Amino acid sequence: KAGVTQTPRYLIKTRGQQVTLSCSPISGHRSVSWYQQTPGQGLQFLFEYFSETQRNKGNFPGRFSGRQFSNSRSEMNVSTLELGDSALYLCASSDVDYGYTFGSGTRLTVV
C-alpha cells in the first residue's frame, strides 16, 4: 500500500510569511504526528491528531498549528515565519500505539 505522502518536498519562504504543509497518511491510519528536525535539536514533536482531534502537543509556540480532516489527511501551518523555522518537517502515521511510518518530509527554508 502507498506510504505517507508529504507535499511539497521543498519550500522557500520569506520571513514573516506563512506556510501550509500537507500530509496524507497510510490508508486506514487515523493517527498523524508532526515533527521538526534540525541539525541542532534533532527531531522534536509538534503535535498529534487522531480522528480530527489534537491529542498531544509539543512545546512549540502558537505560530505552529495543525488540523486533521475526516479522511485523516493532515495539514500544519506556520505563521509569521522566522529564520529559525528552517527545518525538515516530518509527518508520521500509525494505526497502533507502536510503530510509526514517516513520510519523506518537507524541507522548509526561510530566507
Report the residue number, 35 or 85, with the smaller CB distance to another protein. Answer: 35
* Smallest distance, another protein to C-beta of residue 102, A: 3
Alpha-carbon distance of 55 to 38, in angstroms, equals 24
Q: Which stretch binds another protein (CB under 8 A): 12-20, 27-35, 60-68, 78-86?
A: 27-35
- 36 and 60 Cβ atoms separated by less than 8 Å: yes
- 111 and 12 Cβ atoms separated by less than 8 Å: yes
Report the residue number, 49 or 64, with the smaller CB distance to another protein. Answer: 49
Looking at the DSSP bridge assignments, the partners of residue 22 are 7, 75
Would you count residue 12 as binding another protein (CB under 8 A)? no
Looking at the DSSP bridge assignments, the partners of residue 75 are 22, 67
C-alpha cell belonging to residue 36 = 521538526
- In total, the chain counts a number of residues equal to 111
Residues of this chain, 51-110, that bind another protein according to CB under 8 A: 55-56, 58, 90, 92, 94, 97-105, 107
Q: What residues make contact with another protein under the rule CB under 8 A? A: 4, 31-33, 35, 42-45, 47-50, 55-56, 58, 90, 92, 94, 97-105, 107
